[in-house]
Chain A
Amino acid sequence: MSGPLRILYIEDNSLVREITSELLANEQREVVAVGSAEEGIAAFGRRTYDVLITDVNLPAMSGMEFVRQVLRDDPKARIIITSGYSLKLDLEKLGPHVRSIMKPFDAPEMEALLENLCGRPPAMPPA
């Protein structure tokens, strides 16, 4: 991967979306944040993203339905699913690059996961 890391972030809680986008973005990363899976699908269709980060609990289409739709088009998509408790499903069966993180997560945890998925060193300063 070269150039900035492009992240599509889907979170329906506007405050969480605003602040997490701010924490994720820097000169090495571009973050596009949307509030629903439907907007996520539309954004995913418009351009290519290196990583998708989505909440499970979204208003109409759920985060998991979004993940399944994305993986149908791109089985190797890098996806991080955020959830208020640990997901019991077998993420490896969904795709080789699907991970999950439990809320509330802090920046170093998300950084470690991004590094694990994208193989880039952390861009955020450690806490």
Chain B
Amino acid sequence: MNPDELLDAAAQSLINRRCRDATLHEVRGGLQALYSSLELLSRAAKSGAGDAALAERAIGIARRAMANFEPSMLRAIEALTTHREAEVRVNVGEIAGEVLRFLRNDIANKQLVVATAIAADAELRGRRDAVRLWILGVIVTSVDSSTPGGTLAVEVARVANGIEIKVRTRPVAALRGDDVVLAAARAWTEAAGGRFELATLPGTGDAEQEIRISHP
């Protein structure tokens, strides 16, 4: 394993541990329809001599629930594993949107107000899995460092030389550990000729933190 791969693996491992609950949410949400179809089956069995039509319907719903569950499991597995995909055109705004949705419960737990300005055409060339991991790393670090009730602003823009991503949190409590995750994001950005900046503007209970990534 070369140093880059080692950094990838370390970042993935930290993200997996940190995002365990968000991944569980995906999986448990997928199980809900299955649970409810069992309840319908139970009602069918209890209704006098049995309700064949209700039982049929419950079984149909259970089949659809299982078919729907497979993609959610695949998404979870994809999020949990490091893999070396080929480089393609990657829509960064789309991934940022997916990541924000994936982290909704974390954002809810912190009662953060989210503001987004995401360009639809902000693309770069790279490995989709790596881009997702570093965007997830940057946003989850920002969520963790924010103060409950604060704001999280995510901007993805197309600029002259590529794309620019800004993730701002205000007020910020403290930049929390998981430096490996940010180090990995920095390494990926700089390896592609981009720039990674982390700025914290000091203040008493009102500091702002901004992570800015410029990527060709």
Residues of chain A within 8 A of B28, CB atoms compared: 84-85, 102-104
> A59 vs B68: C-alpha distance in the bound complex, in angstroms?
17
Are A84 and B39 within 8 A (Cβ)? no
Residues of chain B within 8 A of A59, CB atoms compared: 101
B107 within 8 Å of A (CB atoms): yes
Give the shortest distance, in Å, between B68 (CB) and chain A (any CB): 6
Are B27 and A84 within 8 A (Cβ)? yes
Residues of chain A within 8 A of B46, CB atoms compared: 125
Are B29 and A16 within 8 A (Cβ)? yes
Give the shortest distance, in Å, between A115 (CB) and chain B (any CB): 17
CB under 8 Å from chain B, chain A span 16-75:
16, 18-20, 22-23, 55-59, 62-64
Are B40 and A62 within 8 A (Cβ)? no
CB under 8 Å from chain A, chain B span 62-103:
64-65, 68, 101
B34 within 8 Å of A (CB atoms): yes
B7 within 8 Å of A (CB atoms): no
Taking CB as reference atom, which chain A residue is nearest B104?
A57
Residues of chain B within 8 A of A18, CB atoms compared: 61
Taking CB as reference atom, which chain B residue is nearest A59?
B101
B119 within 8 Å of A (CB atoms): no
Give the shortest distance, in Å, between A31 (CB) and chain B (any CB): 13
Across the interface, B105 reaches (CB within 8 A) one of A19, A20, A83, namely A83
Q: A22-B40, A56-B104, A125-B46 are in contact. Are A84 and B64 (CB under 8 A)?
A: no
Give the shortest distance, in Å, between A16 (CB) and chain B (any CB): 5
Q: A57-B25, A125-B46 are in contact. Are A16 and B105 (CB under 8 A)?
A: no
Q: A57-B104, A59-B101 are in contact. Are A13 and B109 (CB under 8 A)?
A: no
The 3 closest A-B pairs by CB, nearest first: A84-B25, A84-B28, A64-B108
Give residues in B with beta carbon < 8 Å to A: 21, 24-29, 31-40, 42-43, 46, 61, 64-65, 68, 101, 104-105, 107-111, 114
12 further contact pairs, Cβ within 8 A, besides A62-B108, A84-B26, A105-B32? A13-B33, A15-B33, A16-B29, A19-B33, A57-B105, A84-B21, A84-B24, A84-B28, A85-B105, A89-B110, A107-B39, A127-B42
